[in-house]
């Protein structure tokens, strides 16, 4: 059997197993870096969601105050926007402002206090942040703005 130039070329074309493994390794490193970067974008989006929720709560609590004549107490909390409070002070006029109180982006309930911690003249809405533990460095407050 005569080996021609053409048949030798045919056997040399293609990739070796080592070349394939190297290329797949490079692709895996690039994808890993992209996924790591996407996590940081997700964290930023969650912080943006908290800011948006704070604005929504602020307008809802302002509407509650217009109707009820006063702000909800810490005990009544954000639940006063969903159900008529039965504890003192009972609002003289009440309407349901929200269907339900949304959770923060980490799946925990937002908290409300009046008077606020940083500005006692105003209410404060806060989230325990990514770790879900209150009163530490990652807490987010509507009075931080």
Q: What is the pLDDT of residues 17-29, one digit of tens each?
A: 888 888 888 988 8
User: In the predicted model, what is the mean pLDDT of the chain?
Assistant: 85
Domain spanning 50-145, CATH architecture: 2-Layer Sandwich (3.30)
Q: What is the pTM of this model?
A: 0.70
One DSSP character per residue, 59-101 reads: HHHHHHHHHHSSPPPTTTGGGGGTS---SSSPPSS-----SSP
pLDDT in tens, 93-131: 899 999 999 999 999 999 999 999 889 999 999 999 888
Over 90: is that where the pLDDT of 15 sits? no
Confidence (pLDDT) at 131: 86
Match 């930023």 to its residue by tokens.
44
Which of the four pLDDT bands, split at 50, 70 and 90, describes residue 40? Answer: low
pLDDT for res 14: 74
pLDDT higher than 60, residue 34: yes
Rounded mean pLDDT, 7-36: 78
- Do residues 120 and 137 lie in contact, with contact meaning Cβ atoms separated by under 8 Å? no
Provide the pLDDT confidence category of residue 70 given band limits of 50, 70 and 90: very high
Rounded distance, CA 34 to CA 104, Å? 26
Q: Give the phi and the psi of residue 49 in degrees, each rounded to 5.
A: -65, -40
């Amino acid at each position: 059997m005569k080996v021609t130039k053409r048949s030798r070329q045919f056997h040399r074309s293609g990739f070796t197993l080592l070349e394939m493994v190297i290329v797949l390794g490079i692709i895996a490193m690039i994808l890993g870096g992209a996924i790591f970067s996407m996590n940081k974008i997700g964290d930023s989006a969650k912080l943006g969601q908290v800011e948006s929720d704070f604005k929504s709560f602020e307008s809802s609590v302002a509407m509650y105050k217009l109707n009820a004549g006063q702000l909800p107490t810490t005990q009544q909390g954000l639940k006063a926007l969903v159900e008529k409070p039965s504890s003192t002070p009972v609002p003289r006029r009440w309407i349901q402002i929200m269907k339900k109180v949304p959770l923060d982006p980490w799946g925990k309930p937002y908290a409300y206090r009046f008077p606020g911690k940083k500005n006692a003249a105003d209410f404060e809405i806060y989230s325990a942040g990514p770790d879900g533990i209150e009163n530490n460095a990652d807490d987010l407050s509507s009075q931080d703005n």
